[in-house]
């Protein structure tokens, strides 16, 4: 067993961002793994994604044609089982995503693979190692997988930089008998209510926490975000209170974001919040408590009253 197999994801004819992040993750351990890096895509028309996946560092793109026009977990499972058997990789990387959750753990069980989900860091020491949160992300668990020739890791979206740079990987069509694998009828595709916004795409997030005290204060920060050209995001208590939609929640049970600027007002910096934003390019925190943990990740900090800072910003950008 050697080398890495990345399981790319496509949905409704479009490659999903996590695919390139998985290639980026694979490249961090490729040399240590000492083998080749293959990227597999299972789709009704997998060839349409081949070029986008043939990135620098990729040695081969494997295409598997699905008989189902839409994502079908049973098809993906059968295809991945066949690929693990034919390619014999030491490491398989899939996204920790809704689609992959439908088949990757099942493959790990049926093929008796080492396995971890929601992985946020990778290493290699005589085999793959992985880090993931434990006890609600209060601890970081460091895992290795002794006794397994192949390990499958599901990697959290946003945890790795997406791979860039075109390569020249050849494309190989892999034949897998999948016609009888389709076990569900696709009725219709409904996009999950994404709310009014995708905070993962914003360059500048103005993020507010319980420090804003009251629901009635929210319009003030919506207005401020508008003035600053920022997108408003929030910590979880504001979602739990029903003040804001969960589409705007940053953190472990919300979205992982990596904006150029993350301006946090009245957010303490609990580990579950930091898990979603600590990779932002520049973090600016405003908190009245000098001991607030948010300051441990902030590049710039203001110990002071968030309403005073908000007012000063509003006046400045009027
Ligand atoms: C399994 C699990 C998953 C979770 N997932 C998430 C998640 O995805 N995202 C998330 O955010 N949380 C999550 N949490 C909750 C998390 O543990 C914290 O409770 C939450 O992040 C706290 O939000 P906060 O910082 O807004 O509130 P608080 O911790 O109450 O902090 C409020 C801060 O505002 C400051 N403050 C108050 N008034 C002012 C003022 N006038 N000016 C300046 N500063 C002021 C205070 O000093 C304080 O630091 C999760 C928890 C669990 C157990």
Mutate to test the pocket of ligand 1, among 212, 241, 267 (most ligand atoms within 8 A of CB): 267
pLDDT of residue 142: 97
Question: Which candidate, 195, 203, 208, 194, places its Cα nearest to that of 236?
Answer: 208
Question: Ligand 1 atom closest to Cα of 213?
Answer: 38
Q: To which H or E segment does residue 253 belong?
A: none
Across the range 3-12, mean pLDDT stands at 95
166: nearest Cα among 60, 63, 58, 93: 58
Residue whose CB lies within 8 A of the most ligand 1 atoms, among 270, 284, 291, 301, for a mutation test: 270
What spacing in Å lies between the alpha carbon of 34 and ligand 1's midpoint? Answer: 43
Give the pLDDT of residue 143: 98
CB 276 within 8 A of CB 283: no
Residues lining ligand 1, judged by CB closer than 6 Å? Answer: 136, 209-211, 235-237, 249-254, 266-268, 270, 272-273, 276, 286-289, 292, 305-307
| Inter-CA distances, 38 with 4, 71, 159, 174, 258, Å | 6, 21, 20, 12, 27
**Residue 274 host element (H or E):** helix 271-277
What is the value of pTM for the model shown? 0.74
Q: How many CB atoms lie within 10 A of CB 270?
A: 20
Kindly report, residue by residue over 216-272, the tens digit of the pLDDT. Answer: 999 999 999 999 999 999 999 999 999 999 999 999 888 889 999 999 999 999 988
Closest by alpha carbon to 169, among 26, 12, 10, 13?
Answer: 26
Q: Indicate which residue's Cα is closest to atom 1 of ligand 1.
A: 136
For ligand 1, the distance from its centroid to the CA atom of residue 210, given in whole angstroms, is 6
């Amino acid at each position: 067993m050697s080398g890495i197999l990345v399981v790319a994801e496509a949905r409704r004819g479009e490659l999903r961002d996590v695919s390139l992040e998985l290639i980026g993750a694979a490249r961090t351990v490729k040399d240590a793994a000492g083998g080749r890096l293959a990227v597999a895509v299972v789709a009704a028309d997998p060839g349409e994604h081949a070029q986008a996946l043939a990135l620098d560092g990729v040695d081969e793109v494997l295409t598997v044609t699905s008989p189902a026009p839409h994502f079908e977990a049973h098809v993906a499972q059968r295809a991945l089982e066949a690929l693990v058997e034919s390619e014999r990789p030491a490491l398989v990387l899939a996204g920790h995503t809704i689609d992959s959750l439908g088949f990757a753990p099942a493959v790990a069980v049926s093929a008796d693979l080492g396995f971890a989900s929601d992985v946020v860091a990778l290493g290699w020491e005589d085999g793959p190692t992985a880090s993931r949160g434990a006890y609600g992300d209060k601890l970081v668990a460091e895992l290795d997988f002794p006794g397994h020739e192949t390990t499958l890791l599901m990697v959290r979206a946003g945890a790795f930089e997406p791979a860039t740079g075109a390569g020249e990987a050849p494309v190989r069509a892999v034949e897998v008998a999948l016609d009888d694998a389709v076990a569900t009828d696709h009725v219709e595709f409904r996009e999950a209510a994404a709310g009014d916004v995708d905070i993962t795409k914003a360059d500048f997030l103005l993020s507010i926490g319980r420090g804003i005290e009251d629901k009635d204060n929210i319009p003030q920060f919506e207005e401020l975000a508008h003035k600053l050209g920022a997108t408003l995001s929030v910590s979880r208590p504001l979602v739990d209170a029903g003040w804001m939609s969960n589409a705007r929640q940053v953190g472990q049970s919300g979205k992982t974001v990596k904006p150029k600027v993350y301006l946090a007002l009245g957010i303490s910096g609990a580990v579950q919040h930091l898990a979603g934003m600590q990779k932002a390019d520049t973090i600016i925190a405003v908190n009245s408590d000098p001991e607030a943990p948010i300051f441990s990740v902030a590049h710039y900090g203001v110990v002071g009253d968030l309403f005073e800072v908000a007012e000063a910003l509003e006046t400045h950008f009027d």
